[in-house]
Amino acid sequence: MYHLIVFLPLIGFLIAGLLGRLIGPRGSEIVTTSLLMVSAALSWVAFFQVGFGSGTTRIQIATWLASADLRVDWAFRIDTLTVVMLVVVNTVSSLVHLYSIGYMSEDPHRPRFFAYLSLFTFAMLMLVTADNLVQMFFGWEGVGLASYLLIGFWYQKPSANAAAMKAFIVNRVGDFGFALGIFLVFVLFGTVAFDGIFPKAGELVTQTFRFVGYEWNALTLTCLLLFMGAMGKSAQFLLHTWLPDAMEGPTPVSALIHAATMVTAGVFMVARLSPIFEYAPVALTVVVVIGATTAFFAATVGLVQNDIKRVIAYSTCSQLGYMFVAMGVGAYSAGIFHLFTHAFFKALLFLGAGSVIHAMHHEQDMRKMGGLRKYIPLTAAAMTIGNLALTGFPFFAGYFSKDAIIESAYASVAHGGFASSYAYVLLVVAACFTSFYSWRLYFMTFEGQPRWAGQGHDAHGHDAHGHDDHAAHGHDDHGHGHDHTPHESPWVMMIPLAVLALGAVAAGFVFKEAFIGHDYEHFWKAALFTGKDNHILHAMHEVPGWVVWSPFVAMVLGFLVALYMYVLRPDVPGKLAAANPALYQFLLNKWYFDEIYDFLFVKPAMWLGKFLWKKGDGFVIDGMGPDGISARVVDVTNRVVRLQTGFVYHYAFAMLIGVAGLVTWYLLARG
């Protein structure tokens, strides 16, 4: 069964990628989507078998490499953590495949698109089933490659190419740290296999390692390097800049990246390596601080964004911060629970945004929307459910998982000190901001007066930014001609919304006891490790009542402010921005991180590259080589060649001159 779960997406990729021209777009859609549906169904079977039945299983596929002490197997590690991720990845991916049949219906390159989607899924499956760090790194880099291909799918758009390269390069920064962490694990443990690493972690608590001239606690250094990889892949503060730009890809890609695959990889990796992180409290403190800062930072930026997909993108960034706070305080199951519920409502929000964009003929600016609820009521209902789940409305999915993280942050204050207090405050503030920008998105898009009539496109099919969306997207408004009245999406796009809406409503309530209930050990079966002094999941059930109510109050406050500013008094936001131009521009420009990085890294790198090109390569190397010594040799040989005329009398004359010269020298030399 597990072979089918992992390899069916690979088979779909190979069929659509190699035979796409033969079977055509429709054949590629049917093959890849059908195989993903089977894989998703089997994943749910595995989820109930493992989570509520058997324990850890190891399935050997092959020996990958063996060199001296290094042995790397290709094997599947099947435990509760694995099957949870299999459900998340394959369920969302299969629904994204189905949704894409409608969303990409007129794109001429559909076989390539569906092949890339399946490749993305396979790479993530390789990551989450990994039995060792090298196999995990293979999947880790695989999702990076697939994200590059999908973000830049519309490669004729310069912005899409730039976004794809940005995602790839920023992730290489994090992956450099991850690779160093893997090397250090092998040095310390003598193996990269999890079964060999985990039992020995407790023996290395006091061991040190010299790195960049300093003595470090070995496990702390290991975890910090590994977490550096997680920061890049899961878009944490400082390495987050690629995530919003990834919106340049087709909307189904955004849903897949943000809900199920790439950005969840870092959270999964920390959870999988919990037996190491538990013995590195300093590293866990760093995880808490970075996670809380990310949650707050992304929420502040989301307050003022106008692109519907970017608002949801920053929401993803913020929610990932919540998950890392849970990891940092030792509430690993709460973090994975939020990853699980987040997959449903975040995929719902992105695909709902895609339905809005489809209805608006590829307009993404919320300032050019409004009043859409009566035109696309089903999409509006789906987005409402997604918002309720995201903001933590009682008994929706996010209510159980996000609130559990906030409570665990407070419960860890006793031993976590400043970092836990810092996290609790920022998470509650971020919850308020999340509610505000989520309902701001809804009110600007679906309520109020329509702002789209005559503004979305001109007579030539160009949007307000001058882009030809017909060329960029490869279709002509999905066959709707010049009728620009918003319209509901086709059933093939609405079915995934309905399924995800069900998950956004019920996933938290149904699985709460299994993930974070009092008997959670029965469900996890040691798939997640907690030290003997880690009682956070018990302590979070005993926090004061005001802590339990704080995220709810923050959520209500955010909703009321959004209602006031975008329904009751829609003139207020403009006045507020005008009264605080510096703050507004600071948030609108994302804390100026792109500009800072451009100044610190991009421009110096460009200057150095130009210097080495013009001075090093052009002046020194070319000056001494091709334009110097080599050029002089060519000049001399060109002149010498002219002496080779082929006439005997020329050669005889040269010989006579030589003899005369020799005689003259002889006579002069003898006096």
**For residues 234 and 324, is the Cβ–Cβ distance under 8 A?**
yes
Average pLDDT of 45-66? 88
Is the pLDDT at 489 greater than 70, yes or no? yes
Per residue in 365-385, is it b (16+ CB within 10 Å) or e — as a string? bbebbbbbbebbebbbbbbbb
> In this predicted model, which residue has the larger pLDDT, 643 or 603?
603
Q: What is the DSSP string of 414-464?
A: HHHTHHHHHHHHHHHHHHHHHHHHHHHHHHHHHSSS---TTTS--TTSB-T
What's the angle, vertex CA 372, arms to CA 103 and CA 457, rounded to 5?
Answer: 65
Instruction: Please tell me the predicted confidence (pLDDT) of residue 417.
Output: 81
Specify which residues 73 forms β-bridges with: 63
Average pLDDT of 576-593? 93
Instruction: Please tell me the predicted confidence (pLDDT) of residue 456.
Output: 42
Nearest CA-CA partner of 262 in 157, 175, 153: 175
Helix, coil or strand: residue 644: coil
Report residue 655: phi and psi, to 5°: -70, -40
Nearest CA-CA partner of 1 in 33, 44, 54, 34: 44
Is the pLDDT at 162 greater than 80, yes or no? yes
Instruction: Please tell me the predicted confidence (pLDDT) of residue 634.
Output: 80
Report residue 167: phi and psi, to 5°: -60, -45
Most confidently modeled of 54-68, 287-301, 639-653? 287-301
Question: Which DSSP symbol is given to 591?
Answer: G
Report residue 157: phi and psi, to 5°: -95, 120
Per-residue pLDDT tens over the stretch 247-273:
888 999 999 998 888 899 999 999 999
Q: At what angle do helices 158-189 and 218-233 cross, to 10 degrees?
A: 160
Is the pLDDT at 553 greater than 60, yes or no? yes
Nearest CA-CA partner of 317 in 299, 331, 335, 344: 299
Specify which residues 67 forms β-bridges with: 70
Position of tokens 């990796």? Answer: 269
Position of tokens 């999890």? Answer: 194
Instruction: Please tell me the predicted confidence (pLDDT) of residue 260.
Output: 82
Q: Which two tokens stand for residue 278?
A: 């538990």
Is the pLDDT at 544 greater than 50, yes or no? yes
d(CA 23, CA 337): 40
Per residue in 298-333, is it b (16+ CB within 10 Å) or e — as a string? bbbbbbbbeebbbbbbbbbbbbbbbbbbbbbbbbbb
Percent of the chain with pLDDT over 70: 95
Per-residue pLDDT tens over the stretch 167-210:
999 999 999 999 999 999 999 999 999 999 999 999 999 999 99
d(CA 120, CA 294): 25
Q: At what angle do helices 110-128 and 80-103 cross, to 10 degrees?
A: 170
> Which amino acid, residue 301?
V
Nearest CA-CA partner of 154 in 166, 167, 145, 163: 163
Binned at pLDDT 50, 70 and 90, residue 671 comes out as low
DSSP H or E segment with residue 214: strand 214-217
**For residues 505 and 385, is the Cβ–Cβ distance under 8 A?**
yes
**For residues 131 and 75, is the Cβ–Cβ distance under 8 A?**
yes
Query: In this structure, what is the dihedral angle of CA atoms 619, 622, 624, 626, given to the nearest 10 degrees?
Result: -150
Helix, coil or strand: residue 156: coil
| Other residues' Cβ atoms within 10 Å of the Cβ of residue 614 | 11
Is the pLDDT at 414 greater than 90, yes or no? no
Q: At what angle do helices 251-259 and 110-128 cross, to 10 degrees?
A: 0
**For residues 198 and 529, is the Cβ–Cβ distance under 8 A?**
yes
Question: Which DSSP symbol is given to 307?
Answer: B
Average pLDDT of 586-593? 93
DSSP H or E segment with residue 31: helix 2-51
Binned at pLDDT 50, 70 and 90, residue 458 comes out as very low
Binned at pLDDT 50, 70 and 90, residue 617 comes out as confident
When mean pLDDT is compared across 92-106, 128-142, 285-299, 612-626, the lowest value belongs to 612-626
Average pLDDT of 551-564? 96
- Contacts of residue 96, defined as CB under 8 A and 6 or more positions apart, other chains included, come to 117, 252, 255, 256, 260, 347, 351, 496
What's the angle, vertex CA 152, arms to CA 148 and CA 153, rounded to 5?
Answer: 110
Is the pLDDT at 511 greater than 50, yes or no? yes
d(CA 512, CA 509): 5
| Other residues' Cβ atoms within 10 Å of the Cβ of residue 610 | 10
The size of the chain, in residues, is 671
Binned at pLDDT 50, 70 and 90, residue 385 comes out as very high
**For residues 246 and 187, is the Cβ–Cβ distance under 8 A?**
no
Specify which residues 23 forms β-bridges with: none
Is the pLDDT at 474 greater than 90, yes or no? no
Position of tokens 């089933």? Answer: 129
Q: What is the mean pLDDT of the chain?
A: 89
d(CA 95, CA 351): 10
When mean pLDDT is compared across 340-349, 480-489, 508-517, 606-615, the lowest value belongs to 480-489
Is the pLDDT at 469 greater than 50, yes or no? no
Is the pLDDT at 461 greater than 50, yes or no? no
Is the pLDDT at 466 greater than 80, yes or no? no
| Other residues' Cβ atoms within 10 Å of the Cβ of residue 593 | 15
Is the pLDDT at 468 greater than 70, yes or no? no
Per-residue pLDDT tens over the stretch 595-616:
999 999 989 999 998 888 888 7
Position of tokens 């509430």? Answer: 331
Instruction: Please tell me the predicted confidence (pLDDT) of residue 106.
Output: 87
Binned at pLDDT 50, 70 and 90, residue 150 comes out as very high
Instruction: Please tell me the predicted confidence (pLDDT) of residue 472.
Output: 40
Average pLDDT of 320-335? 95
d(CA 268, CA 128): 8
Percent of the chain with pLDDT over 90: 72
- Domain range summary for the chain, segments of one domain joined by +: 2-588, 594-669
Q: Which two tokens stand for residue 159?
A: 């912005």
Instruction: Please tell me the predicted confidence (pLDDT) of residue 32.
Output: 96
What's the angle, vertex CA 255, arms to CA 567 and CA 305, rounded to 5?
Answer: 35
Binned at pLDDT 50, 70 and 90, residue 480 comes out as very low
Instruction: Please tell me the predicted confidence (pLDDT) of residue 520.
Output: 85
First and final C-alpha spacing in the chain: 105
